[in-house]
Amino acid sequence: MTTNEFVAKNLGADSERGVLWLNERRQIETGRMLGHRYEALRVRYWYHGGRTVWVLDEIGKEMPITIGVAIENARVTDVVILTYRESRGGEVRHPFFTSQFAGAALTTDLLLDRPVDGISGATLSFHAVRNIVRFALYLHDETMPSTESQRDD
């Protein structure tokens, strides 16, 4: 699935594009979730109403995994691995794995509110996908009107 197909599937044709800058506070939170600073200083996303779509890259073992995450009302509605580049651990691409994230939300500690079963032999890919889902949920929260005052700092 391409990025455009993922966006259209989750938001339809009426979506708009946005940009969220990763200021110092957001970089600190990002480091807590990913275990490192996110490479980019800004993140592009798509939105319509209270729904957002994020297409983010995270390193599995050695190569980036491109992950699409759709969110509505601060809960995950869809996770799709758009591009998987590693030679091992590709099981994370399958719906039996990605469907575990449906309905997930963030706790106040920036953790998922439910357990997600890992895959033997795909530990690093599992961590990459889980962490990106957490990151997308955090970013979604940062774009919602209740955090409007925080977005400009």
Residue 148 has pLDDT above 60, yes or no: no
Q: Which domain holds residue 82?
A: 3-144
Is residue 140 in a domain?
yes
Is residue 40 in a domain?
yes
Amino acid at residue number 2: T
Is residue 152 in a domain?
no
Q: How confident is the model at residue 121 (pLDDT cuts 50, 70, 90)?
A: confident
Q: What are the pLDDT digits (tens) for 10-61? A: 999 889 999 999 999 999 999 989 999 898 899 999 999 899 999 999 998 8
Nearest to 150 by CA among 17, 27, 26: 26
Is residue 149 in a domain?
no
What's the token pair of residue 73? 């009302």
Per the model's pLDDT, the better-predicted residue between 137 and 39 turns out to be 137
Is residue 151 in a domain?
no
Cα–chain center distance at 30: 11
How many residues are listed for the chain in this entry? Answer: 153
For 128, counting Cβ atoms within 10 Å of its Cβ (0-12 exposed, 13-18 middle, 19+ buried), the class is buried
Is residue 124 in a domain?
yes
Is residue 82 in a domain?
yes
